Structure 1
């Protein structure tokens, strides 16, 4: 078994066009994936087929062409823009005499490079183990499965069985720890539900600008770069939205076409923030020629994680890359915001984004005139913390006369604390 390739190695890229849309991949996106992995692309071998070849995925002639390219350019890894079977990988490796990596393994390696938190690293390792467990046979094709002969016969565990057992035990250990992390996340979500703090989740195709927008809105320091899968680990921050109050904004992993199912399964706990959000901000790189396809791919993943029913607000990002495109809000026939045109990098249209958020989430706002006695100073302090006092006066008895304006959810939270006292403050 050849050594796993390292970032900075020299690669020969292979891309095959298929007539079937479900099997077709994008060459430009593949080059971005390779660049994001830190691999130097020496040459690209392209071809066309109606169906994959069972032995080499490509035809035997094209396989020889790949092997010649490896020798000519002195490459040490072949990267396929497609998912290969274990036998296809083994056959091409034997022909080219170098490591062969398919699209799924490449994405998993990028995730392994990007993961920073303990949870993210565990999720990526789980996805890698699930993927490797189907390919163990590749590592032991040079060994006998069972030794024979006098004194060597009898029951015993083969090397392949040992590896499968060790991987299975490792996967079970990781899943137990991820279950513990998920329970902690659920506790955090329950706390936010009790406090009636809504969650807004950023979703979108990878490299659409989600983390740049997240940093701009929250003053966070999340890693953002012009590369695929710059963000893996979910980050939550509080923001203030007019007529809504406190809102939790979640930055999540970007999606990509044909995202490996092992990754989706491993990141289920992380993507729960998306599934249980009150609103999804679907960030789109509006300057990308494939934006319609990218939107469709994101919708597919949202359906896979059962988040396709969550209301969405489309964020058309990177308008500074278009000519004569101004920030604006697009509305439906009822006047509800459905699209916001902005540029996170150039800080254009962010005020319109907050206006749209306020309209989509703060439709129910209450106003009350309260008469609060001097003994309830703590209650007045809480109103100041909520930043909901529109007007304030004092009468001769020292009572505080205030006009408050706040979201219904914030008012209901206050009522829960002491319903009789709070309702007694309301002036008819």
Structure 2
């Protein structure tokens, strides 16, 4: 399924689009100009022809149209002057506001949530990703079934069941959407069980997992390719990666580490997508270490980092505390900053044990990152006393491979062996899980 060609927005590649950012003056992490730049980037990600882009100051949002009467008139003139087919509003637009704006502007209107759904729909490559996007889209679309017969007529053919005018048809559409969503949730539960099974197998295996997270276009996939020698899609494009990818790498002191590349985050990520992609993003929850990749050259790098941490918080990834997943910040795109700033960033990173300044593109700082990741994976290791059967040579070999054996002592009768081994708590739990599976 490719939502960009079939959803209620009726968006086609190359459509002439006007991008509008409503500035509500409520503060926030970003300026209107920064939001406009990102909104244009999001629109370009589905190959829209951006014919105009502007920030509109909204002092008092109107329930019917969001913008004031005079602003709507100016926008209508701009749409007509540019012959725009689509208006992208970088914010939340209610179904009533969407309908009224479409009438007033004479063009299709889509809000930020709809736009991001468009992008995800175009990027989904796996069965799981497709199911997740369709579920999120239907959840969003269900709220758009307002009593506007012409609006419903424009939806005809969306998923093959959105039909013609009449209140009865609206109720039919709602029922069909609910039924389809229930079916998708059942299918995703099956996918989730499979993913959980695979994850539990990995946790029983002797390999730690490192997850790359970050704001979209921060350079995660470029870093992933650098570390793994893979060719995962890595372009200067928002949401270039959608489906998670796992590859094995070798690090100092670790024969095998699983590296996971995940979907990029974005500010105001639609709640429908957070919910739908929870099973995929749970890869982060099971990681032994998170690398938070930041585009340190971006003017809004701090705001982007805050957005990533916010999404991680909704997923249950806690910062600090004994149960928190350890995290390293990779200050990426060092090649894009001037010499003075580069020197300052490297100096600051060198003062911290949770930050590495680097460039995935040029390889600068990559060795420092590899060392930091390897050290962090073996950090907090302490000596554990483990009892083994004397015949369990495989268990002893595992302990030697993943820890430092300090002392071995056989029992008097020779049936058991006491092993003092320096292990991380994560590896200790892995070893115990291995024993549980065998018994």
TM superposition score category, shorter chain reference: 0.7 to 0.9
Specify whether residues 244 and 157 from structure 1 end up closer, same or farther in structure 2 by C-alpha distance, changes over 3 A only: same
1:349 pairs with 2:361: no
Q: Which runs of 5+ in 1 are unaligned?
A: 145-155, 368-375, 390-404, 419-428
Greater shift in the superposed pair: 58-67 or 38-47:
38-47
1:232 pairs with 2:248: no
Asked if the contact 1:245–1:406 (Cα under 8 Å) also holds between the matched residues in 2, the reply is no
Asked if the contact 1:328–1:352 (Cα under 8 Å) also holds between the matched residues in 2, the reply is no
Asked if the contact 1:243–1:358 (Cα under 8 Å) also holds between the matched residues in 2, the reply is yes
Aligned residue runs from structure 1 range 111-260, under 5 A: 111-137=120-146, 140=149, 158-260=168-270
Equivalent of residue 18 in structure 2, options 12, 23, 31: 12
Equivalent of residue 40 in structure 1, options 36, 44, 49: 49
Specify whether residues 83 and 3 from structure 1 end up closer, same or farther in structure 2 by C-alpha distance, changes over 3 A only: closer
Equivalent of residue 95 in structure 2, options 58, 63, 86: 86
Classify the secondary structure of the residue corresponding to 1:16: strand
Give the aligned partner of residue 76 of structure 1: 85
TM-score, normalisation: structure 1:
0.81
Q: Which runs of 5+ in 2 are unaligned?
A: 1-6, 154-165, 320-324, 384-390, 405-420
After superposition, give the CA deviation of every residue in 1:102-129 in whole Å (9 maximum; x if it has no partner).
Answer: 1110111011111111111111111100
Give the aligned partner of residue 373 of structure 1: none
After superposition, give the CA deviation of every residue in 1:173-200 in whole Å (9 maximum; x if it has no partner).
Answer: 1111111111111111111221242211
Give the aligned partner of residue 349 of structure 2: 330
Equivalent of residue 311 in structure 1, options 326, 329, 333: 326
Asked if the contact 1:244–1:407 (Cα under 8 Å) also holds between the matched residues in 2, the reply is no
Classify the secondary structure of the residue corresponding to 1:337: coil
Distance 1:178 1:116 in 2: 15
Once the two structures are TM-superposed, the CA of residue 330 in structure 1 deviates from its matched residue by 3.3
1:103 pairs with 2:112: yes
Specify whether residues 339 and 232 from structure 1 end up closer, same or farther in structure 2 by C-alpha distance, changes over 3 A only: same
Asked if the contact 2:215–2:305 (Cα under 8 Å) also holds between the matched residues in 1, the reply is yes
Give the aligned partner of residue 297 of structure 2: 287
Specify whether residues 350 and 140 from structure 1 end up closer, same or farther in structure 2 by C-alpha distance, changes over 3 A only: same
Asked if the contact 2:147–2:167 (Cα under 8 Å) also holds between the matched residues in 1, the reply is no
Give the aligned partner of residue 426 of structure 1: none
Distance 1:280 1:412 in 2: 18
Distance 2:225 2:82 in 1: 42
Once the two structures are TM-superposed, the CA of residue 410 in structure 1 deviates from its matched residue by 6.9
Specify whether residues 350 and 139 from structure 1 end up closer, same or farther in structure 2 by C-alpha distance, changes over 3 A only: farther
After superposition, give the CA deviation of every residue in 1:164-221 in whole Å (9 maximum; x if it has no partner).
Answer: 1111111111111111111111111111221242211111111000011011111122
Distance 1:235 1:68 in 2: 46
Distance 2:54 2:432 in 1: 67
Distance 2:295 2:22 in 1: 26
TM-score, normalisation: structure 2:
0.79
Classify the secondary structure of the residue corresponding to 2:22: strand
Distance 1:142 1:410 in 2: 57
Count of residue correspondences: 385
Once the two structures are TM-superposed, the CA of residue 414 in structure 1 deviates from its matched residue by 8.2
Distance 2:138 2:210 in 1: 32
Q: CA RMSD in A?
A: 3.5
Specify whether residues 195 and 92 from structure 1 end up closer, same or farther in structure 2 by C-alpha distance, changes over 3 A only: same
Asked if the contact 1:328–1:342 (Cα under 8 Å) also holds between the matched residues in 2, the reply is no
Specify whether residues 237 and 72 from structure 1 end up closer, same or farther in structure 2 by C-alpha distance, changes over 3 A only: same
Classify the secondary structure of the residue corresponding to 1:340: strand
Specify whether residues 89 and 192 from structure 1 end up closer, same or farther in structure 2 by C-alpha distance, changes over 3 A only: same
Asked if the contact 2:204–2:434 (Cα under 8 Å) also holds between the matched residues in 1, the reply is no
Classify the secondary structure of the residue corresponding to 1:257: coil
Give the aligned partner of residue 29 of structure 1: 38
